[in-house]
Amino acid sequence: MSNNRPLEISSLSKSFETPTGPITVVKDFNVRVQPGEFVALLGHSGCGKSTVLSIVAGLQSATLGGIVVDGIEVTEPGLERAFVFQSPSLLPWLSAIENVFLSASQAKPKLPAAQQKELATKYLNLVGVGEYANELPTALSQGTQQRVAIARALAQEPRFLLLDEPFGMLDSLTRFELQDLVLDLWEKDRKTVIMVTHDIDEALYLCDRIILMTDGPEATVGLDLKVPIPRPRHRHQATSHPEYQRLRDRIIGFLESHSKQFQPEKEAA
């Protein structure tokens, strides 16, 4: 069955032209994501996480290598891959439900409008903001807007969810709520998720696997760590699991040793 094949990021390199010449931001990046896996891409700001994710989404092209889905190289966006950005980026002149409806109607153009509307309502309710259906985005809090953005992605009924620091703009309480929402959603149908984050605790709480990137230029996979904390997870149960602290220390050690600001004398300690 094709749905049982991994998503492969294969020998991926990305270079940009700059006024001072080309720079290779990501080089020879290889990751195989299994169906149903929840994977974090973690690394310092500017290392190339968003670049990798946007190439997976088909929003940018690879310079070398590429992305393979169901055994076929993908170079463009596709309905099976939905993207959620750090900023909700809803269309400001459309209500919450209309934003989600637009996605449902684009994903399933042959469906009668009434059923597209049902899909939009279903996903808006699923993310817990059905009561704001007719509000414009500007009338909604950041957290509610981001819930609508998640509903918009889900209304596409994708197999892959690509999340680029989806909680990065939220206050910590709202961030916790949205992390729990994403975890609940994932438990329901175990979509394959790739989430970019620089939040170690978020990655440990949500993910099966954490891919740590080295610093750029020429960033690549530095460490590939499994998170063996049992599911379903709850915040307290996860954070008090012995593996949590062990992995947290390992990740901090890695990030410190790959930080440009790192003081060499500490390295020996």
Q: Which residues in this chain contact ligand ADP in the complex, by CB under 6 A?
A: 16, 18, 25, 43, 45-51, 216
Out of ligand ADP, Mg ion, none, which partner does residue 206 contact, by CB within 5 to 8 A per kind? none
- Residue 97 structure tokens: 């439900």
- Centre a 10 Å sphere on the Cβ of residue 105 and count the other Cβ atoms it contains: 17
Out of ligand ADP, Mg ion, none, which partner does residue 18 contact, by CB within 5 to 8 A per kind? ligand ADP
CB 74 to ligand ADP: min, Å: 19
Contacts of 160 (CB under 8 A, 6+ apart): 7, 56, 69, 80, 81, 82, 191, 192, 193, 194
Strand order in the sheet with 64-69: 23-33, 7-16, 64-69, 72-74
Question: Rounded to whole angstroms, how far apart are CA atoms 203 and 221?
Answer: 16
Backbone angles phi, psi at 191, to 5 degrees: -65, 160
Out of ligand ADP, Mg ion, none, which partner does residue 121 contact, by CB within 5 to 8 A per kind? none
Please name which of 249, 234, 250, 140 lies closest in space to residue 187, comparing C-alpha atoms. Answer: 234
Nearer to ligand ADP, 31 or 47 (CB): 47
Out of Mg ion, ligand ADP, none, which partner does residue 46 contact, by CB within 5 to 8 A per kind? ligand ADP
Looking at the chain, the number of H-run helices and the number of E-run strands are: 9, 10
Nearer to Mg ion, 50 or 121 (CB): 50
CB 197 to Mg ion: min, Å: 9
Out of Mg ion, ligand ADP, none, which partner does residue 262 contact, by CB within 5 to 8 A per kind? none
CB 222 to Mg ion: min, Å: 17
CB 36 to Mg ion: min, Å: 25
Nearer to Mg ion, 24 or 105 (CB): 24
